[in-house]
Each structure stands twice: as structure tokens, then as C-alpha cells.
Amino acid sequence: MICPRCDSKNANLLIPSPVGNEWEMYICNECNFTWRSTEPENIRNPKMYDSKFKLTKEKISKMMVNPPIATSRKQALNKRGRFFQNNLWKEGG
């Protein structure tokens, strides 16, 4: 699959829709662009993607590093085994 934004051939299925096979979500492993199969064709089709938003390998190499995704509140246990839920500290985990 070709990425609409950077024309890389390193794009693939990220996840199918959780219910009813309504859409699929794709990701480019070069520029981290994500899109759904239900996007308009000018977003999905690399030949129709707006050239002012296109990225080259040179532009990608100068981009900032993506920060890591934070862990969920339930996964973010502190040393005492507490976690933050609904704005209240609770024991457990």
C-alpha cells in the first residue's frame, strides 16, 4: 500500500473497525500518517493528495520525534499500588 502523504510503500492496515467492518484504518510507517478507508479520495489516493501537504524523506528526517503515548490510568500504577481513576485516588490496581 502507498501512503498518500509521503508516497512510501511502507503503509499498512493498522486496525479494522471494531464493529461491522464499516472501515479500516491505515498507517504509514515512514511519516506516521493515518487515514480511514472512508476518507474522501483526495485523502486516500496518493495522486490526488494535495501537494502542499506532501512530505519528502528530507522533510520527514527534519521532523521532531513523536512523543510516546502515555499509559492508561489503570496501567499507570504507582509504587504503592494505587491508580488515579475519576479524579480520586483509590487503592488497588
Contact status, residue 31 vs residue 4, Cβ threshold 8 Å: no
Distance (Å, whole) CA 12 – CA 40:
18
* Within-domain flag for 84: no
Mind listing the pLDDT tens digit for each residue in 32-52?
Answer: 999 999 999 999 999 999 999
Residue 21, domain extent: 11-61
* Within-domain flag for 69: no
What is the DSSP annotation of 39-62?
S-HHHH-TTTS-GGG---HHHHHT
* Within-domain flag for 38: yes
**Cell numbers describing residue 2:** 502507498
pLDDT band at 69 (very low <50, low <70, confident <90, very high): confident
* Within-domain flag for 26: yes
Provide mean pLDDT across the span 10-23.
93
Distance (Å, whole) CA 83 – CA 27:
32
Contact status, residue 34 vs residue 44, Cβ threshold 8 Å: no
Determine how many CB atoms are found less than 10 A away from the CB of residue 31.
22
Distance (Å, whole) CA 84 – CA 60:
37
